[in-house]
Amino acid sequence: MEKNAKIYLAGHRGMVGSAIHRKLVKEGYSNIITKTSSELDLRNQQAVTSFFELEKPEYVFLAAAKVGGIIANNTYRADFLYENLAIQNNVIHQSYKTGVKKLMFLGSSCIYPKLAPQPLKEDYLLTGLLEETNEPYAIAKIAGIKMCDAYRDQYASNFISVMPTNLYGYNDNYHPQNSHVLPALIRKFHEAKTNSSTEVVVWGSGSPMREFLFADDLADACYFLMENYDERHLINIGTGVDLTIKDLALLIKKVIGYEGDLKFDSTKPDGTPRKLMDVSKLHQLGWKHKIELEEGIQLAYHDFLAKYV
């Protein structure tokens, strides 16, 4: 990407989009177009068409999506399917129509089958049933991957798809019900410490395995792939290392300095037993994460304290 290229970053205020924005600015890009959802409703076909015809961006990072944790995904099933399909249909199609040089579509590791072999290779897509609780979101993301491939096949559009693992970092969502597991635990442990609670209740059995990537590492990988990856089909972005939810909780407890007990509520759903990315394809291209989990949790906790406390 030329330093003066016009880049449209969709979803710039979210955790992922803001990390990509920081990376682009750091690398010397200044012609970055951003629009809030109130300025541009990506679900609105006419609004997106008018925006692309007016701005004609050369490069697009599609990091805008309706996202949430296991409860939000399962509660707002129609919203997650419809809104994500609408956003990506509009942005990908108008990117083709207006001659965008390259587009990056960001998906999610939940696209893989619930019981796929571990670690998750890119080729495991559509080889089995999805995890029921977030199936609508996963189906939307799978459609986005296939859409990028189809536009590449039919129109030679240079549209690529990347699949990040579980993310956390600056500007995360710490909502009590609608957040992901790591930020939810940061909030729980902080509140327990502040209120001198004797125990913290963690949803599920604590046995599922999860992999976590700091959002600024993701942004670094996205920039690297925008420069170095031009293939159909998806590529995983992760660390290639996972741990149990119990061990994650113990690590967050340590970082926050909470002294009480842990209790697991096995009446709450566990979700997929394990979701570890196979990142050999990414490593072979020459990229590897830099921020390890304990350091990342410390950075995220400082951000939480600065913004929410």
Catalytic positions, written as ranges: 137
1 is annotated as contributing to ligand binding: no
126 is annotated as contributing to ligand binding: no
265 is annotated as contributing to ligand binding: no
Burial classification of residue 165, based on how many CB atoms lie within 10 Å of its CB (0-12 exposed, 13-18 middle, 19 or more buried)? buried
DSSP 3-state of 255: helix
In b/e form, how buried is each residue of 72-107, taking b as 16+ CB within 10 angstroms? bbbebeeebbebbbbbbbbbbbbbbebebebbbbbb
**CA proximity to 165, closest of 235, 238, 242:** 238
Distance of CA 211 to the CA centre of its chain: 12
93 is annotated as contributing to ligand binding: no
109 is annotated as contributing to ligand binding: yes
16 is annotated as contributing to ligand binding: yes
Cis-peptide into 119, omega within 30 deg: yes
How far is CA 135 from each of CA 48, 112, 271, rounded to the nearest angstrom?
26, 10, 11
What is the C-alpha separation between 60 and 58, in angstroms, rounded? 7
15 is annotated as contributing to ligand binding: yes
188 is annotated as contributing to ligand binding: yes
166 is annotated as contributing to ligand binding: yes
CA dihedral of 60, 84, 48, 227, whole degrees rounded to 10: 0
107 is annotated as contributing to ligand binding: yes
232 is annotated as contributing to ligand binding: no
- Going by the annotation, the residues of the binding site for NADP(+) are 11-17, 106-109, 141, 164-167, 180
- Going by the annotation, the residues of the binding site are 11-17, 106-109, 141, 164-167, 180, 188, 203, 210, 270
